[in-house]
Amino acid sequence: MNKNIFLTNSLGSKKEKFVPIDKNKVGMYVCGPTVYDDPHIGNARPLVVFDILFRVLKCNFGEKNVTYVRNITDIDDKIIQSSLEKKKNIKELTNEITKNFHEDCIYLNCQNPSHEPKATENISLMIEMVDKLVKKNFAYINNQHVYFEVKKFKEYGKLSNKKLDQLIAGSRVEVSDNKKNPEDFVLWKPSEDNEPYWDSPWGKGRPGWHLECSVMSKKFLGDKFDIHGGGRDLIFPHHENEIAQSRCANENDSFANYWVHNGFITMSNEKMAKSQGNILKIKDFKNKISGQVLRLALISSHYKQPLDWNNKLIDECTNTLNKWYGSYVNLKKPVLIPDDILEPLYDDLNTPGYIANLHKLFDKTQKGDLNDKQIFTSACNFIGLLSNTKEEWMGLKKSKSTLSEEEILLKIKERNKAREDKNYKLADKIRNELIDKGVIIEDLNGKTNWKFK
């Protein structure tokens, strides 16, 4: 507890010592997925990066003292478009993609955030915030649209460190006759007859995308909080707009104190993005390689740097994990990891530095005793690696079960939820289903272990 943590703050563009608003508590908000298509490797990077930051913060401030909020955007133009293309109704589409997203999170061994609010479940709070912005004269209504008037917020552009005209020149600004100024952005807009809508003081419509993060961060973390994360591509306009809305609606001198942004995943030096047509979906790796390989690959570069994705990287990470499993030991509980090993993670989440320490620890296990192996295994587990037993890692390739590792973990999660809800009938049904498919599960000290029959 209470080691110094340093993070690169995009607001000011420098590495700073992390000091939370309340010295015993941390609040972190990360922009989550828009559930219109299956997540790809580019989307996986912030999932894993902020999962590791979540683990580091919990280690330092205590398990219960860190609140991590990651939203699900389940209403957006992209979703409407995708539902038309896929000929699926919107609810069916967003439910399906959300389910796939959760399976991907399990596959990548990411811990659940503390809260995962959906945009559509928070519309009334969004209407409240828009109304406040209109009443305070930061927003205006025109033709059933509500726009935020950017020039009313003097600090607009501070996060991206650019003047307003530079920002406009460098981006595609939506053109509309309804706007007073080209830079103004939409808070609320009318829906067409075949589009989802909610009743509002401005007619039947739906929120603009930026609004939900301002509303949902406020709901769970308050008007001001510690860390806001996301991919670099969100700095402008999304995060600039979040800051403008929140600070004006809440009449506050700050919103999030530390802005942490991860770099892009590239392929042959081009950003991986659906619009570029060069995406690799996470689900396409399942049943071929362990999620741990992807996880290690995703943290092999510093989070701020671009990461080039290629087969060589995957092969190297597979070989590393194969080697590391040679020193894996079953742990009843984690052992203490020395501070000097953890140190790179506290210094701006330097995962390559930490991986170098894991290599050193592995070398030590070659001549060392059981304790060295325990420390090594704990240090890997700390960042979500070597999370399967050795038998499971080896068995992955040999398994005759019709279920993949990820599907098994999802079933176990469903069963644990059923047990929590005291729905023992369902819990037993899931256990029997797993047995039928060649998987045995065992509950031990509050944890559920599994193996193939």
Which residues sit at the interface with Zn ion, rule CB under 5 A? 31, 213
Q: How far is the CB of 75 from Zn ion (least distance, A)?
A: 14
Classify 439 as helix, strand or coil.
strand
Q: Please, which residue, 71 or 350, has the CB nearer to Zn ion?
A: 71
Q: Which helix (H) or strand (E) holds 385?
A: none
Q: How far is the CB of 225 from Zn ion (least distance, A)?
A: 13
Nearest Cα residue to 141 out of 212, 189, 197: 189
Q: Please, which residue, 206 or 415, has the CB nearer to Zn ion?
A: 206
CA angle 301, 306, 308 (to 5 degrees): 80
67 vs 213: CA distance, rounded Å: 15
444 vs 439: CA distance, rounded Å: 16
| Under 8 Å between Cβ of 265 and 45 | yes
Q: How far is the CB of 31 from Zn ion (least distance, A)?
A: 3
Output the CA torsion sign for 321, 302, 359, 62.
negative
**Residues facing 141 on adjacent strands:** 146
Q: How far is the CB of 427 from Zn ion (least distance, A)?
A: 36
Determine whether 304 is exposed, middle or buried from the number of CB atoms within 10 Å of its CB (0-12, 13-18, 19+): middle
| Under 8 Å between Cβ of 28 and 227 | yes
Bond before 237 cis per omega within 30 degrees: yes
Residue 111 φ then ψ, to 5°? -75, 155
| Under 8 Å between Cβ of 321 and 292 | yes
Q: How far is the CB of 152 from Zn ion (least distance, A)?
A: 21
Q: Please, which residue, 31 or 56, has the CB nearer to Zn ion?
A: 31
* Cα–chain center distance at 155: 27
Q: Please, which residue, 117 or 263, has the CB nearer to Zn ion?
A: 117
Q: How far is the CB of 44 from Zn ion (least distance, A)?
A: 17
Q: How far is the CB of 214 from Zn ion (least distance, A)?
A: 8
Q: How far is the CB of 30 from Zn ion (least distance, A)?
A: 8
Residue 451 φ then ψ, to 5°? -150, 160
Q: Please, which residue, 256 or 380, has the CB nearer to Zn ion?
A: 256
373 vs 377: CA distance, rounded Å: 6
Q: Please, which residue, 73 or 320, has the CB nearer to Zn ion?
A: 73
Q: Please, which residue, 46 or 344, has the CB nearer to Zn ion?
A: 46
Q: Please, which residue, 31 or 126, has the CB nearer to Zn ion?
A: 31
- Token output for 298: 């995703």
Q: How far is the CB of 246 from Zn ion (least distance, A)?
A: 11
Cα–Cα distances in Å, from 366 out to 342, 358, 374?
A: 21, 13, 13
Q: How far is the CB of 176 from Zn ion (least distance, A)?
A: 22
178 vs 148: CA distance, rounded Å: 12
Q: Please, which residue, 31 or 383, has the CB nearer to Zn ion?
A: 31
Q: Please, which residue, 31 or 307, has the CB nearer to Zn ion?
A: 31
